[in-house]
Each structure stands twice: as structure tokens, then as C-alpha cells.
Amino acid sequence: MPGTSEKRDRAARGAGGGNFGPRHVAIIMDGNGRWAAARGLPRALGHRAGVEAVRRTVKAAIELGIEYLTIYSFSSENWSRPIEEIDDLMGLMKRFIRADLVELHRQNVRIKVIGERDRVDPELMTLIDEGVELTQGNTALTLVIAFNYGSRGEIVRAAQRLAAEVAAGKLTPADIDSARFSCALSTADLPDPDLLIRTSGEMRLSNFLLWQAAYTELMFMDICWPDFGREALAEAIESYAARDRRFGGLTRRSTA
């Protein structure tokens, strides 16, 4: 009989083309500070350990056949944190891109970044743009980095763009439906997430993909983000595969 890890991997390998695996997994990477505090370490070391978890998770996502992985790396609300912590997070983002870009490109990973450019260090924005351009033709995995991102702001900006088109006579109010609204969002070229995972046991979305997650399966895991990796991802996908996604309709069992 296969062991638990083997069962999880078997379920997870249904991702990206099977009937039960998710094409798109989104993750709220929470718990770096708590992980550090539990070990008597400064928060900065928790964030560094979190970067290692990102590396493990990207590798696992490729191996498990996930097509899209969206990670919530810095929210628009995170600017309220102490300036020292913000500087450290920005520095980590720079180092991640510089250290990992070549490897991500070698692994055929396409990088996409969603979020606002304002307030972000121009040097960091240049690095981000270079990474996006270098990897734009890659096809193994689309890694979406939600950076300086807030879903409410994204929705407001989409509404403003559509309102401007109406004012210019390019659209009528009746032309605006959910599909057109989705196309005005920064995720227009992405499928909605099938599975959204939040680590550290907190049970809220924290202004992340609010429109896109309307029918997303949610999973809240007690593990802190620095301890996340292949096994935890496979466990989440196994749980997802056992769920019955109805999208407001009847269950598969009800229609069998």
C-alpha cells in the first residue's frame, strides 16, 4: 500500500490537466514573524527563511504540475510596518530576483508581477521589469508575484478604467458584465485561482484576490510559512482533490 506522502503526490500530480487537481494555486505566505519569535530570532530572519520556502514551493509546484502559482509577497497595507522591516523586505526582494532569476529562467518559469508601482524603489522596479521581460516566453509555470498589491485598490482602478471608456463613448454601461470587468483587472490573462492557501492558521483573505477568489477553494493551514514546502503543498492539493466544486450548482454526486 502506498504511504501518505506517495498518496499526496499522486493526488497532486492531477494538477495542471487532471480532473481534480488545481491549475492555479494562490498562497498568502503568513507567519514569518511568528516563526522567528517562536525561535527567539529577529523578524528579519523569519523573512529570510520565508524566501527559502518560496524557493521550495516553486520547485514543488513545477514537479506537481501546477500551471500558475500566485504568492502574496507584499500588500499595499504593509507600508504601515516599521521602516526597518520594509527596507529589509525590499532588500530581500532585490536579492531574490538577483540570485534566483537565472535559475527560474532555466526552470522555464514565467514571472508576472501584479500590484502598483508607486512608492516602490526604482532600482527594484527595474529588476522586476528585467525578470518579467527575460522570462515572458517560458511555459512550465507562471509565477505571479503580488507585490505592493491590494485587491480593493485593484477593483477600484478597474472600475475607473471602465468608467473612463464609458465617458469616452467606447462602452455603454450595459456593455459591462463580469467577463469585461475581469479583463480590466491586473490578472486578465490568468485563470481564477482554484485553490487559495493561507499559512499560520489565520482565517481571512487580507485584501487578496477578492474578485478572483469568488469560487476558489480556501485552505487555512496551521504551519508557518518558513516551514512550508512540497509536503504541505501536496497535502493541500490532496484535500482540494477530495472536494466537490459546484460553482453554485449541484454536486457531481447529485448529477451522477
Number of structural domains (the chain) is 1
Quick check: is 100 in a domain?
A: yes
186 located within any domain? no
Note the pLDDT tens digit of each residue in 52-82. 999 999 999 999 999 999 999 999 999 999 9
The answer to the question of residue 201 being in a domain is yes
Q: What residues are annotated to the active site?
A: 30, 78
Q: pTM value? A: 0.89
Does 226 reside within a domain?
yes
Q: Contact 219/191 with Cβ under 8 angstroms?
A: no
Which residue range forms the structural domain that includes residue 41? 20-151+192-239
**68: in domain:** yes
For residue 17, pLDDT over 50 is answered with no
The answer as to whether 5 is a domain residue is no
Distance separating alpha carbons of residues 65 and 3, to the nearest angstrom? 20
> The CATH number of the domain where 59 resides is what?
3.40.1180.10
At CA 18, angle to CA 12 and CA 21, rounded to 5?
Answer: 40
Q: Please check whether residue 164 lies inside any domain of the structure.
A: no
The answer to whether residue 87 sits within a structural domain is: yes
256 or 109, which is more confident = 109
